[in-house]
């Protein structure tokens, strides 16, 4: 019998992407609500409890409400919102984090899908903490450039409007509340990486649809054992060796332009390391709608339902 899969919030950016990625698969049964009942709570409750696995592509409060509707103990959940990323009882859905994490996802009933900016940050920083290069109190600085699709329907509408204002034609730094600089992904960055010092993180949205580049900036003399940039590349290459979606190219030495939309339409993530004996920049490139959202969600679904992890993904 095919697993039954329901997407609660199919009309949003992430939900629609998941629906499109699963639409051609014949190894699952996608169940849907009639358009006129998609927000009807009794209908949603019935579909949620009749599914083997549910994707929650909803605002935080609505995601928590959806979980409260579950009465069937066999229902598995992947939450794409921020609501459960640091919650007890939920597994963080980044399989490449370590073998134990992948195993936990396979056996989990509740998986929190990572945030897009957090995916880039964690993929670079978590291994360096585990490897002893960074400690929990290390001061970490980074920025992340993304296409406007990550802002949802409102932002997409603003950027695609014919009469959009001139400021939307240039990159825009956001999350600049000077009283705290608390970007919504910072709590999961800290929790998953084991940090006790809040990183200084600056997100930037630019005038293109999708794709992301997250950069971590390091002074090598502030790292344990004072590694060179090439040492860091070699460590990350070994850490992710054998992974299908995550790759660390050979150390290139000389800098170059790095476009942030290199992996659009895929579930691939690439860590590029540049620098010298004194300083290192790790730039993580991936699709904010792919490995940063819907692609990661499908990858987690594959693991949770016993499919090949790469099924339906490129």
For residue range 54-112, list pLDDT tens digits in order: 999 999 999 999 999 999 999 999 999 999 999 999 999 999 999 999 999 999 999 99
Q: Is the pLDDT of residue 180 over 90?
A: no
Residue listed under structure tokens 């084991």 = 194
Backbone angles phi, psi at 54, to 5 degrees: -120, 130
pLDDT at residue 273, rounded to an integer: 95
Distance CA 32, CA 134 (A): 46
Please list the helix, strand and coil fractions of the chain in percent, rounded to the nearest 5, in that order. Answer: 35, 20, 45
What single string gives the DSSP state of each residue in 146-157?
A: EEGGGGHHHHHH
Distance CA 110, CA 241 (A): 27
Helix, coil or strand: residue 283 = strand
The CATH number of the domain covering residues in 116-288? 3.30.360.10
**Where do the domains of the chain lie?**
4-114+293-305, 116-288
C-alpha separations of 57 from 12, 232, 310 in Å: 7, 36, 21
Q: Are 221 and 228 in contact (CB under 8 A)?
A: no
Give the lowest-confidence range in 122-126, 141-145, 150-154. Answer: 150-154
Confidence tier at 39 by pLDDT (50, 70, 90) = confident
The mean pLDDT value for 168-180 works out to 75
Active-site hit among 57, 116, 193, 210? 116
Residue listed under structure tokens 């963080």 = 92
Distance CA 64, CA 29 (A): 25
Q: Are 263 and 270 in contact (CB under 8 A)?
A: yes
pLDDT at residue 255, rounded to an integer: 56
pLDDT at residue 153, rounded to an integer: 85
The mean pLDDT value for 105-128 works out to 97
C-alpha separations of 119 from 30, 195, 296 in Å: 27, 15, 10
Helix, coil or strand: residue 30 = strand
Instruction: Find, among 231, 232, 272, 270, the residue nearest to 255 by Cα.
Output: 272
Q: Is the pLDDT of residue 12 over 70?
A: yes
Q: Is the pLDDT of residue 175 over 90?
A: no
Residues above pLDDT 70, as percent of the chain: 97
- Please tell me the number of Cα atoms within 13 Å of 148 on its side-chain side: 18
pLDDT at residue 23, rounded to an integer: 87
Q: In sequence order, what are the residues at sequence separation of 6 or more whose Cβ sits closer than 8 angstroms to the Cβ of residue 14?
A: 57, 80, 289, 293, 294, 297
Mean pLDDT of the chain: 93
Q: Are 127 and 239 in contact (CB under 8 A)?
A: yes
Query: For the chain, what's the residue count?
Result: 314
Residue 116 is a catalytic residue: yes
The mean pLDDT value for 205-217 works out to 96
> Looking at domain 4-114+293-305, which CATH architecture does it have?
3-Layer(aba) Sandwich (3.40)
Q: In sequence order, what are the residues at sequence separation of 6 or more whose Cβ sits closer than 8 angstroms to the Cβ of residue 276?
A: 228, 229
Where is mean pLDDT largest: 164-168, 253-257, 309-313?
A: 309-313
């Amino acid at each position: 019998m095919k697993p039954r899969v329901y997407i609660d919030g199919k009309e949003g950016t992430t939900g629609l992407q998941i629906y499109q990625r699963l639409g051609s698969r014949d190894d699952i049964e996608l169940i849907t609500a009639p358009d006129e009942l998609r927000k009807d709570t009794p209908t949603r409750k019935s579909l949620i409890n009749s599914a083997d696995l549910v994707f929650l592509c909803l605002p935080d409060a609505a995601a928590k409400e959806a979980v409260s509707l579950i009465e069937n103990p066999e229902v598995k959940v992947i939450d794409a919102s921020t609501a459960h990323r640091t919650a007890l009882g939920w597994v963080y859905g980044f399989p490449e984090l370590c073998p134990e994490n992948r195993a936990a996802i396979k056996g989990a009933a509740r998986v929190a899908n990572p945030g897009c900016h957090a995916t880039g940050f964690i993929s670079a920083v978590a291994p360096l903490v585990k490897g002893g290069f960074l400690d929990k109190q290390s001061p970490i600085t980074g920025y992340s450039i993304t296409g406007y699709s990550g802002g949802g329907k409102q932002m997409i509408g603003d950027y695609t409007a014919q009469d959009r204002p001139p400021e939307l034609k240039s990159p825009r730094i956001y999350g600049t509340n000077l009283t705290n600089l608390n970007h919504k992904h910072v709590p999961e960055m800290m929790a998953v990486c084991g940090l006790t010092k809040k990183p200084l993180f600056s997100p930037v949205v630019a005038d293109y649809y999708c794709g992301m580049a997250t950069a971590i900036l390091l002074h090598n003399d502030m790292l344990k054992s004072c590694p060179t940039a090439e040492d860091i590349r070699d460590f990350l290459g070994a850490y992710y060796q054998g992974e299908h979606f995550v790759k660390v190219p050979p150390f290139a030495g000389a800098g170059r332009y790095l476009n942030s939309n290199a992996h659009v339409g895929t579930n691939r993530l690439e860590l590029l390391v540049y620098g010298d004996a004194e300083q290192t920049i790790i730039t993580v490139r991936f699709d904010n709608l792919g490995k940063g959202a819907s692609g990661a969600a499908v990858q987690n679904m594959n693991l949770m339902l016993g499919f090949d992890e790469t099924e339906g993904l490129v």
